[in-house]
Amino acid sequence: MSSPTGSVGARNKLSLLVLGLCWFAILCDGLDTFVYGAALPDMLADKSFGLDPGTAGDVGSIATFGMLLGALGAGPLADRVGRRATLIGGVALFSIASLACAIAPQVAVFAAARFVAGLGLGGLIPTAISMVMEFAPIGRANLMVAAVMTAHQTGGILASGLGIVFLDGRGWRFLFALGALPLLIAVPVMLKYLPESLSYLVARGRVDEAHALAARHGVTVADFTSERSGGAASVLASLRKLFVGSRKYTTLTFWVASFAGLLLVYGVATWLPVMMRSTGYELGSALSFLLVVNLGGIVGLLIAGRAADRFGPTRIAIIWFALTAVGISLLAVKMPLPATYFLVFLTGVWLFSAQTMVYASTAAHADADFRATAVGWTSGMGRFGAVFGPWLGGVLVASGQPKWGFAAFAIAAVVAVVAMSSIAIRERGRRPAGVAGPALALH
């Protein structure tokens, strides 16, 4: 049933409120993801700290392992205790751990703090994606997902910009100290303004609470709960739903694609400045490349989001991963600086939005009562790739072969193309004749 005309504005206002608050949460994730890569050259040069390239790769992997555990736990947790509490708790935990990184006296303490930060950050992306999709206006779910994920690249731009401005004068510790600011800024705002997901409340049987919340925002529950819901379920029940019928195949395939995609994202985020320096660029240019690749990521996400609402996130992921493989391969070739900047920008356009489309496609295949679990476990299993990517880059740099990182990351993009293509084939087989557009839910 359509909503009254007067409630459309309130519905859109609520959608934008949720989008804005989730955007800020993902900004924290993006800042953390890229601040380590931005600070890494200065950290390696800080002989008093004692970090070497091999250990740097291990530290990067430890942080992403924490994100892996955080993502695996936060998805079921968000489906159990709520999206709101999971998001706020993750931001608070990350902020405290970032401050611990700034004051760490030795590498081991720094690595432990990075692990704890990863626990807090791991659940931010899957939980935020679930929320924005559940509050999205009809026909704009993929665009909303892409919009919220621009925060990740904005965090990357912020990290590289802060590195350019502060590394020489204040050092790498100052960059990590800034990561504590969300505890003072974001958490109080989210506590006051972030609503719980109406779809989640209905799915958990808290219908009266959902109606009361909707009334406070001038909307109706029906505005946001038109999809099928399975009712309340335990964590294990939510996990079992990922393997019912044909979901077993699609779940495992999404995990493979996410593994390859996050290997790309975190490998490039950690080692792009170092790899670009290996091809003959100065440190300032190498940090600028990190900024430019994230600018490309923002543009790519907005393009991919609109395209995915029309053609489906699965198809867009395939095209974007294929283009990423080409772009990363070409980065290994020394070119004139303007041409390199342009190629880095294009690679950013494709790289980050490709992985986001994996999340969007996963969410499109899940119902509200286990959506956070589905996206969380796709993100969590993909974090194995996020662990492997920084480690692999560290091994290649330590062995004196940083240029091989370009080939390794290009291969990962090809693996993602194959995985998402198999999903697309199954979607096409289940789509009724004459029907085009976004991915169908494969139940």
* Phi and psi, residue 224, nearest 5°: -125, 5
Which residue type does 425 have?
I
Residue 335 has pLDDT above 90, yes or no: no
Residue 70 has pLDDT above 90, yes or no: no
User: What DSSP string describes 309-350?
Assistant: HHH-HHHHHHHHHHHHHHHHHHHTS---HHHHHHHHHHHHHH
- What would the pLDDT profile of 18-51 be if each residue is shown by its tens digit? 999 999 888 887 887 778 877 887 888 888 898 8
Residue 189 has pLDDT above 80, yes or no: yes
Cα 158 to Cα 350: distance, rounded to the nearest angstrom? 20
- What would the pLDDT profile of 374-412 be if each residue is shown by its tens digit? 887 888 788 788 778 877 877 887 777 767 778 888 999
Q: How far is CA 127 from CA 229, 316, 318, 359, 372, in A?
A: 18, 22, 24, 11, 6
Beta carbons of 420 and 358 less than 8 angstroms apart? yes
State which of 169-183, 207-221, 234-248, 413-427 shows the largest mean pLDDT.
413-427
Which residue type does 371 have?
R
- What would the pLDDT profile of 341-377 be if each residue is shown by its tens digit? 899 899 989 988 898 899 889 988 877 667 777 887 8
Residue 316 has pLDDT above 60, yes or no: yes
Tokens 């935020």 locate to: 128
Beta carbons of 116 and 100 less than 8 angstroms apart? yes
User: For all residues of the chain together, what is the average pLDDT?
Assistant: 82
Residue 419 confidence class, pLDDT cut points 50, 70, 90: very high
What local confidence, expressed as pLDDT, does residue 433 receive? 40
| Count of residues in the chain | 443
Beta carbons of 388 and 55 less than 8 angstroms apart? no
Sign of the dihedral through C-alpha 371, 372, 373, 379? positive
Percent with pLDDT over 70 in the chain:
88
Residue 227 confidence class, pLDDT cut points 50, 70, 90: very low
What local confidence, expressed as pLDDT, does residue 159 receive? 81
